[in-house]
Amino acid sequence: MDGSAARPLRADARRNRNKILAAAVRVFAEEGLDTHLDRVAKAAGVGSATLYRNFPTRETLIEAVYRSEVVELCDAVPGLLETRSPFEALHEWTRLFLDYASAKYGMIEALRAIAATGGNPYGHSRDMIQAAITTLMDACTAAGEVRTDVSATDVGAALEGIALTSAGPEKRQQAERLIVLILDGLRARREGRD
């Protein structure tokens, strides 16, 4: 072994890391990204040293929060498909996507600053999101619930467009209406319907 592979975290360290990420999402949403990181540590129920051991800089914490949000969004797909029809799962997932887009909107300047310094906060997030959409669309297609002439890539592009134009919290209702418009357009046409 060359030592370059990261060691898996102990269970308690993983729990602390997850508590910090969850607290950071809440604190950043309530107080903004410039809030003192000790507030995040306190909200997580850990000491400042634990926070800084896991996330040595504000930028590493913001990037980890963003990546965590992407993973949570994409990991929701199997559960949605187990508990809902494929089309209902797609609809519910688009709502989660709007939540993700709103959180990303609040972090956009910080993420841009990280990218400007050579970091890559986006990493594989676009591929992960596209894979989630593909899974949902494949399930909808197999169930005959969506048109077959619209690809998962098309749906992804439409969601990105909504996120770019309607991601701010003040535009949530507009974003919801646009999602409904897209989903209505995706529905499979039945004989006798135009």
Express each pLDDT in 132-160 by its tens digit. 999 999 999 999 999 999 999 999 999 99
pLDDT at 179: 94
DSSP label at residue 140? H
Average pLDDT over residues 169-194: 81
Cβ atoms < 10 Å from Cβ of 85: 14
Cβ burial of 193 (10 Å; 0-12, 13-18, 19+) is exposed
pLDDT band at 1 (very low <50, low <70, confident <90, very high): very low
**Angle of helix 152-166 versus helix 125-142 axis, rounded to 10:** 120
pLDDT higher than 60, residue 6: no
Q: Kindly report the pTM of this predicted structure.
A: 0.81
Average pLDDT of the residues of the chain: 86
Angstrom CA distances, 177 to 10, 27, 60, 89, 172, stand at: 45, 29, 35, 17, 9
Q: How many residues does the chain have?
A: 194
Residues 17-43, mean pLDDT to the nearest whole number: 89
Answer CATH for 63-186 from 3.40.50.300, 3.90.1170.20, 1.10.357.10, 3.40.630.30: 1.10.357.10
CA dist 174 and 157 (Å) reads 17
Residues 87 and 140 sit within 8 Å (Cβ to Cβ): yes
**Domain boundaries, given as residue ranges, for the chain:** 10-56, 63-186
> What residue has token string 């897209």?
182
pLDDT at res. 9: 63
**E strand or H helix at 182, and its extent?**
helix 172-186
Percent of the residues in the chain that have a pLDDT greater than 70, as a whole number: 90
Using pLDDT thresholds of 50, 70 and 90, give the confidence band for residue 111.
confident
**What would you measure as the largest C-alpha separation in the chain, in angstroms?**
66
**The CATH homologous superfamily of the domain defined by 10-56:** Homeodomain-like (1.10.10.60)
Checking if the pLDDT of 193 tops 70, the result is no
Q: What's the pLDDT tens digit per position in 70-98?
A: 999 999 999 999 999 999 999 999 999 98
For residue 178, pLDDT over 80 is answered with: yes
